[in-house]
Amino acid sequence: MSEEQVQDQKNDFFKSTDKNPSHIQPEKLTLDSSLKFECHPGVPCFTACCHNIKIILTPYDILILRERLGIPAHEFITRYTEPTFLEKTDMPGVRIKLTEDKKACPFVTPEGCTVYNDRPTACRYYPVGMADFHEGGTDDAKEDKFFFLVKEPHCKGFEEPKQWTIREWRKDQGVDKRDELNKEWLRLVMRRKSFGYQATLSEAAKRMFFMASTDLDSFRRFIFESSFLDTYELDDETVAKIKEDDVELMLFSFSYLANTLFGAQGMTIKKEKIDAKVKEIKARQDESLKDAEREYLALKAERDRLRNEEEKKSTGE
């Protein structure tokens, strides 16, 4: 990516109600800013925010939730999610599928969240959103972050007396780890957003993005049961890591997508594969030349035959 600035307003990205998508307070906050808020089973609105809500799932959310539920990725995706587009782009993703009757998250009960320790990133952010401004697309790109409050009218957590700093709140919610693991995936979406629709992305590329983002089991098969390892240069240590560790495989999928979708550095095609491709193209070109030559000779022979016939007719032979 060139010099464009990418804005990543995470709270708005992950989670919004349909009626009012933001409720963002205008004040910029830092990690040391204070926050008066608490959410617990005693608040009168308990679980209100687990209804009528749009919760986008990141690849890490999916990985953790399906591990917790003990089901494969494709089953999780079918049972608990529905397709959506990410951040007003044509990048396909998934969000939690709400129940038909109550429009509730499938994991909520009157007692609270049944997957609380493994709840999605979106559920950890509220009510503190974060805006990231990454300048440029390189690893050492300048980053500037600030935080903001999202104050939904029905949320009584702001009436609770508990005081935190934003830093303490984020630590309590475990969002730092999520930010780190979601970072490169979010960058892919934001890159797509900043490029706009002028830059075309093939249907095959979108399918690959969706598969890698939602179904690591399929992505693993793609790596280990196709010609992938014969095509790309990967050292043994990386191969061993992505074979055994789902998180490593997920992070690897982000590098692969950045490379194939946006031409980012980091993945190298084997020299012999490039040489073989060049040879194949050259062979095709040689064959085309031969075809053209054959066609030319056939046309020439036909033209000569017609000319001979004409000559014979004109001389009365």
Applying CB under 6 A, which residues contact ligand SF4? 39, 43, 45-50, 55, 105, 107-108, 113, 115, 119-120, 123, 126, 154-157
Least Cβ distance, residue 16 to ligand SF4 (angstroms): 12
- Which of 171, 241 has the CB closer to ligand SF4? 171
- Which of 126, 147 has the CB closer to ligand SF4? 126
Least Cβ distance, residue 39 to ligand SF4 (angstroms): 3
- Which of 125, 256 has the CB closer to ligand SF4? 125
Angle between helices 73-80 and 216-224 (to 10 degrees): 150
Least Cβ distance, residue 105 to ligand SF4 (angstroms): 3
Least Cβ distance, residue 255 to ligand SF4 (angstroms): 29
- Which of 6, 50 has the CB closer to ligand SF4? 50
- Which of 107, 254 has the CB closer to ligand SF4? 107
Task: Give the span between the Cα atoms of 89 and 189, in whole angstroms.
Answer: 8
Which two structure tokens, joined as six digits, stand for 184?
Answer: 């490169």
Least Cβ distance, residue 213 to ligand SF4 (angstroms): 19
Task: Give the span between the Cα atoms of 205 and 283, in whole angstroms.
Answer: 28
